[in-house]
């Protein structure tokens, strides 16, 4: 079946959606990115174009290959453009209502009953999104990692309704077409990676909140003491503190374990708009590009 998937749609052109679209286009796929409106669609195009330019600048991509990838991409503000897609990957904001609305709409728009509807959610139940459609057997989680063009992992998450054939098809697509590595997870909040990672990040937030150590010392300690490539608070800033808080809330709602509860400092920073790299300030400060 994977040999037949040539037309991919991505709903959401933010950091994750743009990255997913880029890797699909670089793999030779006809890729359409849908954003909320034409202005957001232009911003998504600029985001992908800038990423391709960086790849060329690093020597990881030939200029001609970057041009070819961009030529395979179309950007729109009209969800109806997903009608002929064989695989649609949702990558909108990590909000259950927003994602459910997208899946309900895609169920009516996507014409091929064999098409796969996938979500890039990092924490929400795939089952909930599948039940918003009349094709829950064709709904699956495909959780990519940021930055998508660089990190080689994708979590494949099947709900209780997802057909085994859907799982096999998307696993083959991810490994054979996109060239990434798959790990499988049950449909539980956080899946494999975030269920392990987020409590660690929250512990670092609590340590900084208590005044036990500074953000700089916490990060330096884990980088130099544990050989982590990035300290927990810098990593939280990279992910986005709003996203970390959202994942933590989903984990806490599901498991009711104190280690998953977002610390008050994290909530205050999100309320203040101090979201990390994307706003120029989180636990650390970052220069605006």
Which residue among 143, 159, 161, 185 is the active-site one? 143
216 and 129 in one domain? no
CB 241 within 8 A of CB 205: no
Give residue 230's pLDDT.
Answer: 97
Over the chain (289 residues), what is each successive 10-residue block's mean pLDDT? 80 96 98 96 96 95 96 97 98 93 98 97 93 98 95 98 97 97 96 96 98 98 98 96 94 95 98 96 86
Listed residues 186, 215, 245: the one ending a domain: 186
Which residue among 120, 123, 185, 194 is the active-site one? 194
Beta bridge partners, 10, equal: 33, 89
Give residue 179's pLDDT.
Answer: 97
Give residue 2's pLDDT.
Answer: 45
Which residue among 35, 155, 159, 246 is the active-site one? 155
Domain residues for 231? 194-278
**Active site includes 184?**
no
Which residue among 51, 120, 122, 123 is the active-site one? 122
Strand intervals (E) in the chain: 7-11, 30-34, 73-76, 87-90, 116-119, 139-144, 153-158, 181-186
85 and 178 in one domain? yes
Listed residues 166, 186, 206: the one ending a domain: 186
Number of domain units in the chain: 2
> Beta strand pairing status for 73-76 and 30-34?
parallel
**Active site includes 95?**
no
**Active site includes 161?**
no
**Active site includes 155?**
yes
Q: Is the pTM of this model over 0.75?
A: yes
């Amino acid at each position: 079946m994977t040999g037949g998937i040539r037309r991919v749609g991505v709903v959401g052109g933010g950091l994750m959606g743009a990255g997913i679209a880029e890797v699909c286009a670089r793999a030779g796929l006809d890729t359409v990115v849908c954003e909320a409106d034409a202005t957001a669609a232009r911003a998504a195009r600029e985001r992908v174009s800038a990423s391709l330019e960086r790849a060329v600048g690093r020597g990881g991509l030939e200029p001609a290959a970057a041009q070819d990838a961009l030529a395979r991409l179309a950007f729109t503000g009209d969800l109806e453009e997903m009608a002929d897609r064989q695989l649609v990957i949702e990558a909108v904001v990590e909000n259950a209502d927003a994602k459910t609305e997208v899946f309900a709409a895609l169920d009516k728009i996507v014409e091929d009953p064999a098409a796969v509807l996938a979500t890039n959610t990092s924490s929400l139940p795939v089952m909930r999104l599948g039940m918003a459609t009349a094709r829950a057997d064709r709904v699956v989680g495909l959780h990519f990692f940021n930055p998508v063009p660089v990190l080689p992992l994708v979590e494949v998450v099947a709900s209780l309704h997802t057909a085994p054939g859907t799982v096999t098809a998307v696993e083959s697509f991810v490994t054979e077409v996109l060239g990434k590595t798959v790990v499988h997870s049950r449909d539980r909040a956080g899946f494999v990676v975030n269920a392990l990672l987020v409590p660690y990040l929250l512990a670092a937030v609590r340590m900084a909140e208590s005044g036990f150590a500074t953000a700089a010392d916490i990060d330096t300690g884990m980088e130099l003491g544990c050989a982590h490539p990035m300290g927990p608070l810098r990593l939280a800033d990279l992910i986005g503190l709003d996203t970390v808080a959202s994942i933590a809330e989903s984990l806490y709602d599901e498991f009711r374990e104190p280690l998953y509860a977002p610390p008050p400092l994290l909530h205050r920073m999100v309320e203040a708009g101090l979201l990390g790299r994307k706003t120029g300030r989180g636990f650390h400060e970052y220069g605006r590009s």
